[in-house]
């Protein structure tokens, strides 16, 4: 696809570091093309976020996705937080309204939609979240709203305990995870392209009850963690589903138009399958 740039072209993009794993430009540019929107979505590798909001206003950047490691830190710099983002304490979407930049969180929506494609009712489901970053926070708060029972495990215990306290959840260190879980969600970057062989050092015993296992990493589609879960007999959910749903919600916040979800999903899957040939 060749994007035709002119003075009216609206600019969107993604900030984070590193960005080599991200397929957001592939997905959003295809969605713009599908709906005939004069816009382009670019990579903006970014180590510090202090100047991002001012930069958006100065350069008329209409919207940004926010990925690791900035989802929590960026909250202090926006002009306004959407109520959901404020309650979560993490942002993955910035919308430039002209005089102010508003922070939103669509990770929560994306995770719930992905899970509900397999489990319609999440009430009273016992969920183990691996990780304690911005995405973990969003998913934890969203699942609490759905009535699920949350447990947290994290390599850095202090960070994991802090999140568990906020969620009124149980915390387990990696070495001592106890309980039978209906759902396990892997939210750390371990296993993300290009370091695809990595995974969290959690015990295999977490798979004994055959929970539904989701990894929010989408590149690769099947992580080492999901391969292990499948080998243990668990149903698995690729991170592609959450990625597409959260991206669709971003697209709608930026454009005011209904996102072409099926096209976005097909684009991501096609790219990933082609990459792995």
**In terms of domains, do 82 and 138 share one?**
no
- For the chain, the first-to-last Cα distance in angstroms comes to 21
Find the helix packing angle between 107-116 and 134-145, rounded to 10°.
60
Active-site residue flag, 231: no
Q: Count up the domains in the chain and report the number.
A: 2
Q: What is the pLDDT of residues 87-114, one digit of tens each?
A: 999 999 999 999 999 999 999 999 999 9
Per-residue CA distances from 204 to 175, 176, 201, 208, 255 (Å): 11, 12, 9, 8, 44
- Does residue 4 fall inside a structural domain? no
**In terms of domains, do 145 and 171 share one?**
yes
**In terms of domains, do 117 and 219 share one?**
yes
Rounded percentage of the chain residues whose pLDDT exceeds 90: 96
Q: Which residue among the candidates 62, 71, 125, 249 is catalytic per the annotation? A: 71
pLDDT at position 126 over 60: yes
Task: Say how far apart CA 113 and CA 227 lie, in whole Å.
Answer: 22
Number of neighbours of residue 109 by Cβ within 10 angstroms: 19
For residue 227, what is the enclosing H or E element?
A: helix 224-231
pLDDT at position 252 over 60: yes
**What average pLDDT does the segment 131-140 reach?**
95
**In terms of domains, do 81 and 124 share one?**
no
**In terms of domains, do 246 and 199 share one?**
no
Could you tell me the maximum CA-CA distance found in the chain, to the nearest angstrom? 58
**In terms of domains, do 186 and 114 share one?**
yes
pLDDT at 179: 84
Q: What is the pLDDT of residues 19-41, one digit of tens each?
A: 988 999 999 999 999 999 999 99
- Does residue 3 fall inside a structural domain? no
| Residue numbers of the domain that contains 265 | 10-105+241-275
- Does residue 171 fall inside a structural domain? yes
**In terms of domains, do 245 and 232 share one?**
no
pLDDT at 20: 87
**In terms of domains, do 266 and 179 share one?**
no
pLDDT at 4: 82
- Does residue 1 fall inside a structural domain? no
pLDDT at 186: 98
- Does residue 258 fall inside a structural domain? yes
- Does residue 140 fall inside a structural domain? yes
- Does residue 176 fall inside a structural domain? yes
**In terms of domains, do 265 and 233 share one?**
no
**What average pLDDT does the segment 123-144 reach?**
96
pLDDT at 277: 44
**In terms of domains, do 98 and 125 share one?**
no
> Which CATH number characterizes residue 24's domain?
3.40.50.10860
**In terms of domains, do 134 and 245 share one?**
no
> pLDDT averaged over the chain?
95
> Which CATH number characterizes residue 122's domain?
3.40.50.720
pLDDT at position 209 over 60: yes
Contact, 213 vs 236, CB < 8 A? yes
pLDDT at position 228 over 90: yes
- Does residue 153 fall inside a structural domain? yes
**In terms of domains, do 32 and 70 share one?**
yes
Q: What is the pLDDT of residues 163-174, one digit of tens each?
A: 999 999 999 999
Q: What beta strand segments (E) does the chain contain?
A: 10-16, 39-45, 61-66, 80-81, 93-96, 101-104, 126-130, 149-153, 170-172, 183-186, 212-215, 236-237
């Amino acid at each position: 696809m060749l994007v035709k740039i002119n003075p009216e072209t609206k600019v969107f993009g993604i900030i984070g570091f590193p960005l080599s794993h991200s397929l957001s430009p592939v997905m959003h540019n295809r969605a713009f093309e599908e709906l005939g929107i004069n816009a382009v979505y670019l990579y903006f590798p970014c180590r510090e976020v202090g100047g991002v909001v001012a930069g958006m206003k100065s350069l008329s950047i209409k919207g940004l996705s926010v990925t690791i490691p900035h989802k929590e830190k960026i909250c202090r710099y926006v002009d306004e937080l959407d109520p959901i983002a404020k309650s979560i304490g993490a942002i993955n979407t910035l919308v430039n309204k002209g005089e102010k930049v508003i922070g939103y969180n669509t990770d929560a929506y994306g995770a719930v939609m992905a899970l509900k494609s397999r489990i319609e009712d999440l009430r009273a489901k016992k969920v183990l979240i691996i990780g304690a970053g911005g995405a973990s926070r969003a998913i934890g708060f969203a699942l609490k709203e759905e009535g699920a029972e949350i447990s947290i495990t994290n390599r850095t215990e202090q960070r994991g305990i802090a999140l568990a306290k906020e969620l009124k959840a149980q915390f387990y260190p990696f070495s001592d995870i106890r309980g039978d879980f209906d759902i396990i969600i892997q939210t750390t970057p371990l296993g993300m392209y290009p370091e695809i062989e990595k995974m969290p050092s959690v015990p295999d015993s977490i798979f004994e009850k055959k929970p539904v296992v989701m990894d929010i990493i989408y590149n690769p589609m099947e992580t080492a963690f999901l391969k292990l879960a499948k080998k243990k007999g668990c149903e698995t959910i690729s991170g592609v589903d959450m990625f597409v749903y959260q991206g669709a919600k971003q697209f709608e916040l930026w454009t005011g138009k209904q996102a072409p979800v099926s096209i976005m999903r097909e684009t991501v899957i096609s790219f990933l399958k082609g990459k792995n040939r």
